[in-house]
């Protein structure tokens, strides 16, 4: 069934985003990305209370990535993209841990080939046990501009669904899905992902040599 769009609200979001990209995107382009972002989120949304806030955030992230991929906006730090099927478990854990350890030295994005409507509660609990919060995150769709803006793409069980572009570094971390697993099992998985994240961060941001 075709979604009924609240066009006035979507246009207002586009008007708010347009000044963030002066001379880079037209109003028509911004509106298109806002509409696409809304539709992708609305399809799986169970609760629509924050749908327009999430639409704003997703559209802004996609437009920023598009501008970066075109060289219109610089990338001050390395961009890492974590991808899994639902963007509700493995990739969210990896991204949250990378953000925690990198402390701004790396920019992190996540996406899913078939994003769920929310992050799995056991994933949030497992991260909390490690002192990491992910309360502001949400599952996001995998889009071409997000991949193009990344320097490193880490696939975590999404198979061949992630597009491959020349000049990008691709890694495959073969971790089992978190869905249906106990908190104990998810926490153990989170600890294993944490080791991989730390190793990757050490590669991206080497420690200075001792004098």
Q: What are phi and psi of 21, to 5 degrees?
A: -130, 60
User: What are 113-153's pLDDT values in tens digits?
Assistant: 999 989 999 999 999 999 998 888 999 999 999 999 999 99
Both tokens of residue 191? 């600890």
Give DSSP secondary structure letters for the chain: -PPPP-HHHHHHHHHHHGGGSTTT--HHHHHHHHHHHHHHHHHH-S--TTHHHHHHHHHHHHHHHHHHHTTSS--SSEEEEEEESSSSSHHHHHHHHHHHHHTTSEEEEEEESS--SS--HHHHHHHHHTT---TT----B--HHHHHH-SEEEESS-GGGS---TT-EEEE------TT--HHHHHHHHHHHHHHHHHHHHHHSPPPPP-
pLDDT at 154 over 60: yes
Average pLDDT of span 95-110: 96
Higher pLDDT, 186 or 163: 186
Cα torsion angle, 156, 158, 160, 162, sign: negative
Could you tell me the pLDDT band of residue 4, with boundaries at 50, 70 and 90?
Answer: low
User: What are 5-31's pLDDT values in tens digits?
Assistant: 689 999 999 999 999 999 999 999 999
Q: What are phi and psi of 158, to 5 degrees?
A: -100, 10
pLDDT at 44: 66
User: What are 25-73's pLDDT values in tens digits?
Assistant: 999 999 999 999 999 988 866 656 689 999 999 999 999 999 999 999 9
Average pLDDT of span 177-198: 95
CA distances from 52 to 1, 13, 16, 173 (A): 20, 8, 12, 33
pLDDT at 210 over 50: no
pLDDT at 136: 86
| Domains delineated in the chain | 7-74 (1.10.8.1060), 77-205 (3.40.50.2300)
């Amino acid at each position: 069934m075709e979604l009924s769009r609240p066009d006035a609200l979507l246009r207002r979001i586009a008007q708010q985003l347009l000044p963030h990209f002066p001379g880079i995107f037209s109003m028509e382009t911004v509106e298109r990305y806002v509409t696409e972002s809304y539709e992708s989120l609305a399809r799986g949304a169970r609760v629509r209370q924050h749908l327009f806030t999430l639409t704003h955030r997703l559209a802004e992230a996609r437009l920023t990535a598009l501008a970066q991929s075109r060289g219109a906006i610089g990338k001050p730090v390395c961009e890492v993209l974590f991808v899994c099927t639902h963007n509700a478990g493995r990739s969210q854990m990896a991204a949250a841990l990378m953000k925690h350890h990198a402390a701004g030295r790396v920019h992190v994005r996540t996406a899913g080939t078939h994003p769920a409507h929310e992050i799995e509660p056991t994933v949030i609990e497992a991260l909390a046990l490690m002192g990491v919060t992910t309360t502001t995150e949400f599952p996001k769709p995998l889009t071409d501009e997000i991949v193009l803006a990344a320097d490193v793409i880490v696939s975590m069980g999404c198979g061949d669904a992630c597009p491959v572009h020349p000049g990008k570094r691709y890694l495959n971390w073969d971790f089992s899905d978190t869905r249906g697993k106990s908190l104990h099992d998810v926490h153990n998985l989170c600890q294993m992902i944490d080791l991989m994240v730390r190793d990757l961060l050490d590669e991206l941001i080497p420690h200075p040599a001792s004098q």
